[in-house]
Amino acid sequence: MTGAWGAAGFEAAFAAAGPIPGWLTRGQARDLYDAGTAVPPGGVVVEIGSHHGRSAVVLASALPEGARLVAVDPFPDDWRYGAAGTEQEFRAHTRRAGVAGAIELRVATSAQVRADWSGRLDLVYVDGKHDFWTVRDDLGWADLVAPGGSVFVHDAFSSLGVTTALLRTVLPSRSLRYTGRTGSLAHLRVAPPSWADRARLLAQLPWWLRNLVVKVLLRLRLRPLARALGHHDAADPY
């Protein structure tokens, strides 16, 4: 049996995760789920930024028996998208989905947890604080991922801080290759990159600039102009 849902698979996992607040699309959830099913028995996945548990439910549902998800989030009350009680909501949502037993929650920052980490990882999902320096530091987890493993970065092409950190880390890297995206979820593989991989990453920049323009328009309450650019959501592009 693979994952908490067995043969029911992704559909059941997303049915449990879908009502949980968050910005993970169905297609992005599918990517995370498929990557989770590839984790070996006894493997370890790290999630940076857990919020209410939407992505954690998807990832934990996919894992084989004996594998675990380490969910890392300090749950600050003053965070723009957080609030008092978010940690309790996370615990309730993962318990209700039946995956709490596969999750080890660390209420701390990514840097604090990584400082004491030992052992290799199979998969890392980065969706923490979105400023340049935090994302650069979070991408340091990639150094702990086994060769061939995956690193996913959410909001990779809809945030100034995330995108610039991604470019600064991946373009000169000799061990991370960009393989594609689903919306603004970037998929990196721990493997030597080619120049074509680097060019494919740079090719996303026009879409990123479009998303930055859309975010400005939304803040100026110019939604008709945002719709003219193909954005039909009241939320930022993700």
> Is residue 190 assigned to a domain?
yes
> Is residue 237 assigned to a domain?
no
Closest CA to 112 of 70, 74, 56, 55: 74
> Is residue 41 assigned to a domain?
yes
* Least trusted range by pLDDT, from 5-9, 39-43, 77-81: 5-9
Instruction: Scan for tokens 């859309």, then name that residue.
Output: 214
Predicted TM-score of the model (pTM): 0.93
What's the confidence (pLDDT) of residue 61?
Answer: 97
Task: Kindly report the CATH number assigned to the domain that includes residue 193.
Answer: 3.40.50.150
> Is residue 224 assigned to a domain?
no
How many C-beta atoms surround the C-beta of residue 37 within 10 A? 16
Task: For residue 147, give the H/E element and its range.
Answer: strand 145-153
What's the confidence (pLDDT) of residue 82?
Answer: 61
Q: How many domains is the chain built from?
A: 1
Structural domain containing residue 195? 6-203
> Is residue 142 assigned to a domain?
yes
Residue-wise pLDDT tens digits, 189-229:
999 999 999 999 999 999 999 999 999 999 999 999 999 99
214 within 8 A of 226, measured Cβ to Cβ: yes
Per-residue pLDDT band at 59 (split at 50, 70, 90): very high
> Is residue 44 assigned to a domain?
yes
193 within 8 A of 169, measured Cβ to Cβ: no
What is the distance of C-alpha 189 from the center of its chain? Answer: 14
Quick one: 223 exposed, middle or buried, by C-beta within 10 A (0-12, 13-18, 19+)?
middle
Per-residue pLDDT band at 12 (split at 50, 70, 90): very high
Give the amino acid at 100: A
Region 135-162: what's the mean pLDDT?
97
> Is residue 220 assigned to a domain?
no
> Is residue 212 assigned to a domain?
no
CA 98/CA 141 separation, integer angstroms:
27
Structure tokens belonging to residue 4:
């908490």
What is the distance of C-alpha 80 from the center of its chain? Answer: 18
Percent of the chain scored above 90 by pLDDT?
Answer: 88
3-class DSSP assignment, residue 148 = strand
Residue-wise pLDDT tens digits, 146-159:
999 999 999 999 99
98 within 8 A of 57, measured Cβ to Cβ: no
